[in-house]
């Protein structure tokens, strides 16, 4: 009997020891904020420390000391990361990264209720000086017309919010987006759209396009949706990227990001590690300009069109863009008053004219190049 008890205790101890020696890597991604800055984001079930070893000037590895990392996510090279290898050496999993020479590394562990994040900021040197982020450089005057990216939300397999009169968010956003592009092109601006048909670019695709064309402004267009107990809620909201504790803003961000509220809470914390203050300032001004002119033009058609304010929330589609970026919620698709006008082509044209006007005013007041070194002070 004693022997059986000792054996059981030994087995349980062994199992617990094995379990305690394993951590799970649930997600991995590389978020590129500029050609010279990448953020490697590891999502673990638990982690309180890490080990970073530089093997030479372009080859390094990261490990959780004396732990096996059970990886359940793809690890795909991107940006400045050329190659990723995983090896188990001396009882620990080491994740190797190959890059070009000349990078500097910063580390941060971010804890949340459900996940632990290890964030590694990788930044390129240039002539022994760190290449500054686009938003930390001196602002230069634009020599040519700015580049604007218009992003009609949802599309294809993703209809977005479904509202009254058979309205679908993806159709409204595409209609407004095309009008915005038309007005801006008419005034001589270079405009790209993330979609011009009923297709579905992923959130990452939309961000990638904005950065590839070196956009000066990114505007994502959406239509809001109210829960059944708040059907009287209506009106315009314009969002810029920031963290928030506002429950309704978080619910909206969760819906637009395709995430749960707990994941949005995690994203809130990650953004604190990645966000650039100057980008927030410019985005807030852009949001205010668009908001003001959308109300002016919108009220010419829809007299009781109301503004619910300029707000902030952690929208994924705004995180990775390197330029001032905002997300417009044009109205509530299931509010009877808003829905009647959202199906009206004249009202959609008016909203588009307001968005275009707001963008133009912003760019004229803040003549900055985000493709080149950025940034003079904002006007007060």
Q: Cα–Cα distances in Å, from 116 out to 43, 86, 257?
A: 6, 20, 20
146 and 113 housed in the same domain: no
Mean per-residue pLDDT for 157-186?
Answer: 96
DSSP code for 168: B
280 and 206 housed in the same domain: yes
**Domain of residue 355, residue span:** 135-365
90 and 119 housed in the same domain: yes
CATH number at residue 39: 2.60.40.3470
71 and 204 housed in the same domain: no
Q: Cα–Cα distances in Å, from 301 out to 69, 294, 335, 353?
A: 59, 11, 17, 12
379 occurs within a structural domain: no
221 and 333 housed in the same domain: yes
155 occurs within a structural domain: yes
6 occurs within a structural domain: no
Among candidate residues 270, 314, 282, the one with its CA nearest the CA of residue 121: 270
Of 20-29, 110-119, 328-337, highest mean pLDDT: 328-337
306 and 183 housed in the same domain: yes
Domain boundary residue, one of 114, 131, 148: 131
164 and 27 housed in the same domain: no
210 and 315 housed in the same domain: yes
Q: Report the distance separating Cα 293 and Cα 285, nearest Å.
A: 13
CA atoms within 13 A on the CB side of 198: 10
Residue 255 and residue 184 in contact, taking contact as beta carbons nearer than 8 Å: no
Among candidate residues 262, 167, 221, the one with its CA nearest the CA of residue 356: 221
Mean per-residue pLDDT for 198-223?
Answer: 92
268 and 124 housed in the same domain: no
Q: Are strands 147-152 and 217-224 parallel, antiparallel or unpaired?
A: parallel
| Number of domains forming the structure of the chain | 2
61 occurs within a structural domain: yes
CATH number at residue 239: 3.40.630.40
Segment 259-301, tens digit of pLDDT = 655 665 566 666 655 556 678 889 999 999 999 999 999 999 9
Chain length of the chain: 380
Contacts of 363 (CB under 8 A, 6+ apart): 142, 146, 216, 217
187 and 323 housed in the same domain: yes
Question: pTM for the full model?
Answer: 0.67
Statement: residue 185 has pLDDT above 90: yes
* pLDDT for position 249: 61
Sign of CA dihedral 234, 239, 245, 251: positive
339 occurs within a structural domain: yes
């Amino acid at each position: 009997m004693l022997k059986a008890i000792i054996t059981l205790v030994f087995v349980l101890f062994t199992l617990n020891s094995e379990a305690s020696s394993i951590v799970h890597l649930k997600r991995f991604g590389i978020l590129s904020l500029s050609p010279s800055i990448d953020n490697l984001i590891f999502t673990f079930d638990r982690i309180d420390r890490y080990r970073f070893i530089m093997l030479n000037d372009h080859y390094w590895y990261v490990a959780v000391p004396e732990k096996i990392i059970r990886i359940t996510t793809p690890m795909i090279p991107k940006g400045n990361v050329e190659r990723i290898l995983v090896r188990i050496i001396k009882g620990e999993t080491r994740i190797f990264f190959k890059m070009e020479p000349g990078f500097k590394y910063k580390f941060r562990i971010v804890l949340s209720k459900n996940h632990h994040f290890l964030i590694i900021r990788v930044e390129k040197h240039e002539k022994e000086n760190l290449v500054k982020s686009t938003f930390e450089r001196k602002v230069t005057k634009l020599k040519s017309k700015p580049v604007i990216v218009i992003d009609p939300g949802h599309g294809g397999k993703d209809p977005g919010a479904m509202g009254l009169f058979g309205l679908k968010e993806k159709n409204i956003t595409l209609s407004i987006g095309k009008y915005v592009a038309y007005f801006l092109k008419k005034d001589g601006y270079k405009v790209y759209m993330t979609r011009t048909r009923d297709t579905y670019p992923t959130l990452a695709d939309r961000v990638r396009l904005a950065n590839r064309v070196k956009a000066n402004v990114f505007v994502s267009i959406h239509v809001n949706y109210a829960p059944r107990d708040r059907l009287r809620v209506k009106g315009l909201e314009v969002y810029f990227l920031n963290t928030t504790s506002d429950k309704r803003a978080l619910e909206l961000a969760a819906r637009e990001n395709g995430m749960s509220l707990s994941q949005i809470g995690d994203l809130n914390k990650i953004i604190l590690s990645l966000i650039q203050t100057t980008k927030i300032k410019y985005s807030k001004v852009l949001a205010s300009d668009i908001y003001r002119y959308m109300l002016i033009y919108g009220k010419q058609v829809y007299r009781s069109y109301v503004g619910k304010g300029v707000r902030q929330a952690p929208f994924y589609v705004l995180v990775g863009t390197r330029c001032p970026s905002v997300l417009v919620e044009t109205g509530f698709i299931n509010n009877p008053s808003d829905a009647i006008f959202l199906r009206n082509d004249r009202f959609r044209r008016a909203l588009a004219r307001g968005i275009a006007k707001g963008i133009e005013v912003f760019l004229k007041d803040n003549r900055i190049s985000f493709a080149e070194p950025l940034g003079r002070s904002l006007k007060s």
